[in-house]
């Protein structure tokens, strides 16, 4: 009767290997609509499909209180540690701002070019890092490491997103910014590799060629930060540079991400794509092609601003595409395992720190199953706030034990078990969880 298909701990550094479906799910970041979690698609993405990351936009945020409630739900519903990301660069690109209960912030250009002062940078960065910490957001898709070569570059210079036109100044300000966020246990993401600051067009809108405008000096902030030990995230830009790869833009280029960023520059953190629905990609590649190329290029996480594709789960669609590509020999399981292991390692680092503060430990005992009613298979989720021997058994309506799911010493945390009832007949069953003096019984209905 026992069947453990997928078990991951929420708060501990022991991450048993997931099945292939859930490994691929960890490689996906999605956005979703609304300020509350009422959409069944995102709920299932978190609870069943095991999506690894979500990104929040202004449309998800109304006030600090509402944001905290939302992120608390996200963390509690996810069965693995969840990356919750946001773009909080400062200035125009700031999801937390005066319109939703925060305050206006300086832009990177003001900080790095007008002020160019370490103490001002640190005060500014510390303020925003504090907002993210209070909101339980653990990944800031910032700072911008682009060098301001073209002040009129529509996606960077024009929006005051670059610190400076001097590479070393960009490095300094990125370094101070990152340090302030690290002090609050928040990860960062440098963007947009290999450099968007010289571009004359916007990759949000379409093909962006930097071949004749890009300079090697745009790599300096990345080189110096990596040499200084930076290993959080780097975002791959949808930027075509024929001098590096004459066929593919950086985000889909193995030469750029694996050859240059990993092998030459020595980066061993996580690589995440820029938005996969941006015009530079969606106007030039099919959805399936983009997924295959992005993974084979070396990206660990694919970023999508929505969690739906044709009204259905985008996560499920991407996982299906990748599994088909693996069966066809176009993507290898080794490539998936490389990214999965990097993702889990980074999540372990986050949760190790948080575990010391008990931030992710459940407050009380809980036992649920879904779907319920179920047909043959259901997921059993338990949350336990203390260490001890955990017993989970299933009984039929006359009190006979029909299955033992768990009976072993277990550390505090959240656990998910997949139970297959193929050999049981339709009817009412009771799931009983016992730990120390605590007993919880939950009714489940099997319909065949």
Express each pLDDT in 405-424 by its tens digit. 999 888 888 787 878 898 89
Other CB atoms within a 10 A radius of the CB of residue 42 amount to 24
Q: What is the 3-state secondary structure (H, E, C) of 244-299?
A: CCCCCCHHHCHHHHHHHHHHHCCCCCEEEECCCCCHHHHCCCCHHHHHHHHHHHCC
Decide if 7 is inside a domain: no
The answer, yes or no, to whether residue 272 has pLDDT greater than 80, is: yes
Kindly give the pairing relationship between strand 388-396 and strand 401-410: antiparallel
| Same-domain check for residues 322 and 372 | no
What is the distance between the alpha carbons of residues 16 and 376, in angstroms, rounded to a whole number? 25
| Same-domain check for residues 386 and 249 | no
Q: Residue 227 in contact with residue 268, Cβ under 8 Å?
A: no
pLDDT score at 414: 77
Decide if 6 is inside a domain: no
Q: Please tell me the number of Cα atoms within 13 Å of 314 on its side-chain side.
A: 20
Put residue 116 in one of left, alpha, beta given phi > 0 → left and psi -120 to 50 → alpha. left
| Same-domain check for residues 337 and 299 | yes
Q: Which residue, 311, 327, 356, sits at the end of a domain?
A: 356
Decide if 12 is inside a domain: no
**281-292 average pLDDT score:** 97
Tens-place pLDDT, residues 135-145? 999 999 999 99
- From 61, 52, 231, 37, select the one nearest 132 (Cα to Cα): 61
The answer, yes or no, to whether residue 6 has pLDDT greater than 70, is: no
Q: Which residue, 356, 390, 424, sits at the end of a domain?
A: 356
Which residues neighbour 291 within 8 Å (Cβ) at sequence distance 6 or greater? 276, 302, 318, 321, 322, 325
Q: Please tell me the number of Cα atoms within 13 Å of 363 on its side-chain side.
A: 3
**68-84 average pLDDT score:** 90
442 is catalytic: no
pTM of the complete model: 0.78
Decide if 47 is inside a domain: yes
**52-66 average pLDDT score:** 97
Decide if 8 is inside a domain: no
**Active-site residue, selected from the candidate residues 204, 209, 231, 442:** 204
Q: Please tell me the number of Cα atoms within 13 Å of 94 on its side-chain side.
A: 26
Other CB atoms within a 10 A radius of the CB of residue 181 amount to 25
| Same-domain check for residues 349 and 377 | no
- From 109, 76, 115, 75, select the one nearest 92 (Cα to Cα): 109
**Active-site residue, selected from the candidate residues 87, 232, 274, 316:** 274
Q: What is the 3-state secondary structure (H, E, C) of the chain?
A: CCCCCCCCCCCCCCCCCCCHHHHHHCCEEECCCCCCCCCHHHHHHHHCCCCCEEEECHHHCCCHHHHHHHHHHHHHHCCCCCEEEECEEECCEECCCHHHCCCCCCCHHHHHHHHCCHHHHHHHHHHHHHHHHHCCCCEECCCECCCCCCCCCCCCHHHCCCCCCCHHHHHHHHHHHHHHHHCCCCEEEEEEECCCCCCCCCCCCCCCECCCCCCHHHHHHHHHHHHCCCCCEEEECCCECCCCCCCCCHHHCHHHHHHHHHHHCCCCCEEEECCCCCHHHHCCCCHHHHHHHHHHHCCCEEEECCCEECCEEHHHHHHHHHHHHHHCCCCCHHHHHHHHHHHHHHHHHHHHHHHHCCCCCCCCCEEEEECCCECCEEEEEEEECCCEEEEEEEEECCCCEEEEEEEEEECCEEEEEEEECCCCCCEEEEEEEEECCEEEEEEEEECC
| Same-domain check for residues 199 and 159 | yes
| Same-domain check for residues 55 and 194 | yes
361 pLDDT band, cuts 50/70/90, is low
Instruction: Give the CATH number for residue 238.
Output: 3.20.20.300
| Same-domain check for residues 220 and 103 | yes
Tell the burial category of 425 from Cβ atoms under 10 Å away from its Cβ (0-12, 13-18, 19+).
exposed
Q: Residue 28 in contact with residue 302, Cβ under 8 Å?
A: yes
| Same-domain check for residues 228 and 256 | yes
The answer, yes or no, to whether residue 172 has pLDDT greater than 90, is: yes
The answer, yes or no, to whether residue 354 has pLDDT greater than 80, is: no
Q: Which residue range is the domain that position 326 belongs to?
A: 20-356
362 pLDDT band, cuts 50/70/90, is low
- Number of domains comprising the chain: 2
Tens-place pLDDT, residues 14-37? 344 478 999 999 999 999 999 999
More confident residue, 6 or 423: 423
| Same-domain check for residues 381 and 352 | no
The Cα-based distances of 252 to 204, 222, 238 in angstroms read 15, 19, 8
| Same-domain check for residues 133 and 99 | yes
Decide if 361 is inside a domain: no
202 is catalytic: no
Decide if 69 is inside a domain: yes
Instruction: Give the CATH number for residue 372.
Output: 2.60.40.1930
Decide if 2 is inside a domain: no
| Same-domain check for residues 108 and 218 | yes
What is the distance between the alpha carbons of residues 363 and 115, in angstroms, rounded to a whole number? 45
Q: Which residue, 335, 356, 377, sits at the end of a domain?
A: 356
The answer, yes or no, to whether residue 38 has pLDDT greater than 80, is: yes
| Same-domain check for residues 51 and 161 | yes
Tokens (6 digits) for 366: 């809980």
pLDDT score at 355: 43
The Cα-based distances of 292 to 285, 321, 383 in angstroms read 11, 8, 37
């Amino acid at each position: 009767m026992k069947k453990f298909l997928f078990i991951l701990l929420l708060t501990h550094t022991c991450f048993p290997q997931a099945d292939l479906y859930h490994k691929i799910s960890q490689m996906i970041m999605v956005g979703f609509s609304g300020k509350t979690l009422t959409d069944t698609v995102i709920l299932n993405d978190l609870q069943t499909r095991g999506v690894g990351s979500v990104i929040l936009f202004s449309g998800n945020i109304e006030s600090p209180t509402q944001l905290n409630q939302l992120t608390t739900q996200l963390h509690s519903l996810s069965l693995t540690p969840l990356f919750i990301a946001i773009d909080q660069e400062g200035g125009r690109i700031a999801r937390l701002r005066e319109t939703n209960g925060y305050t206006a912030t300086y832009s990177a250009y003001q900080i790095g070019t007008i002020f160019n002062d370490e103490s001002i940078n640190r005060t500014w960065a510390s303020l925003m890092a504090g907002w993210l910490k209070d909101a339980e957001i653990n990944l800031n898709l910032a700072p911008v490491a682009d060098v301001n070569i073209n002040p009129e570059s529509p996606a960077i210079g024009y929006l005051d997103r670059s610190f400076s036109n001097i590479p070393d100044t960009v490095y300094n300000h990125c370094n101070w910014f990152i340090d302030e966020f690290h002090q609050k246990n928040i990860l960062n993401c440098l963007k947009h590799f290999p450099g968007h600051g010289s571009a004359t067009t916007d990759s949000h809108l379409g093909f962006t060629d930097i071949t004749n405008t890009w300079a090697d000096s745009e790599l300096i902030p990345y080189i110096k930060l990596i040499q200084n030990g930076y290993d959080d995230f780097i975002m791959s830009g949808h930027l075509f540079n024929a001098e590096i790869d004459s066929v593919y833009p950086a985000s889909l280029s193995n030469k750029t991400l694996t050859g240059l960023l990993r092998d030459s520059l020595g980066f061993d953190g996580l690589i995440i794509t820029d938005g996969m629905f941006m015009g530079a990609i969606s106007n030039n590649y099919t959805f399936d092609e983009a997924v295959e190329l992005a993974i084979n290029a070396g990206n660990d996480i694919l970023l999508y601003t929505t969690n739906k594709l044709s009204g259905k789960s985008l996560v499920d669609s991407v996982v299906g595409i990748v599994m088909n590509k693996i069966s066809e020999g176009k993507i290898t399981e080794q490539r998936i395992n490389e990214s999965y292991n990097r993702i889990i390692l980074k999540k372990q680092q986050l949760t190790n720190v948080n575990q010391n503060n008990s931030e992710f430990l459940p407050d009380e005992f809980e036992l649920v199953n879904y779907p319920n009613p179920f047909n043959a298979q259901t997921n059993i989720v338990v949350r336990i706030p203390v260490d001890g021997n955990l017993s989970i058994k299933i009984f039929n309506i006359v009190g006979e034990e029909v299955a033992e799911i768990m009976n072993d010493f277990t550390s505090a945390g959240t656990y998910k078990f997949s139970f297959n009832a193929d050999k049981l007949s339709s009817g009412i069953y009771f799931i009983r969880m016992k730990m120390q003096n605590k007993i919880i019984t939950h009714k489940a209905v099997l319909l065949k």
